[in-house]
Amino acid sequence: MVVDGSQVRELLLGRDGVVYGAGDGLLCVDCSTIGREAALAIGAALREHGLRFVDAPVTGSTPAARDGTLTIMAGGADGDVAQARPALAAMSARVIHAGPLGDGQAIKVINNAVAAANAVTVAEALIAAAAGGLDLDAVVAVLSSGSGGSKILEAKGAAMREHDYTPLFGRRTWQRTSHCASRKRVRALSQRRARARRSARRRASGLRGSGLRGRRRGRRGTLRGPFGNPLESAENY
């Protein structure tokens, strides 16, 4: 486990990387948080050298790492994950085969995004409760035993109340997570906006919404809508 994708690539594929001393078919397992795209690219490069790859990022933060109770989400071929499972189980409470290569990283990014939002929500809840003069012990007790409970509340609730800002999860790791999530979100938004623009242009020009061509007028000059239905006047279109 290292800091980012560039370090994983350097260790495995760099000048003194694993590929130059590994036997054919060696299985490489990475527990870093590097994002799906990096995992897929590294996996493809390793395959060119006859090596296999499993992405296995972890969640649970420092206490779980110390106690050996992490949750690991592994992405890779069935046989590869099965081979890696005993080693991963030695430092975790649960190993989940997330899917093919890259899916472990994809789930990790989503998990981190949810955890970040949860941390902000818990902090705001405690601030609002304190501003309202509420008993914070009672607030935390209710949240912990009700639907508002969460791992973040368990891990950081007391520290937040004491203004203890000792991190359990490094700032750079949060930033990497945000970067991976933002790239995916920007790409998805760009694709959605492009589809919306194409749809708007089709409607404006009277083309069919479900195809590239549309019919605005029939043989006798009848004005027609996007699905070929005749319209009484242009004002109705």
Element (DSSP H or E) covering residue 25 = none
All residues at 6 or more sequence positions from 200 whose CB lies less than 8 Å from its CB, including other chains: none
* CA-closest candidate to residue 99, choices 85, 112, 81, 83: 81
Task: Name the residue type at position 77.
Answer: A
List residues with catalytic annotation. Answer: 108
Task: Name the residue type at position 187.
Answer: R
What's the burial of 145, exposed, middle or buried (CB within 10 Å: 0-12/13-18/19+)?
Answer: exposed
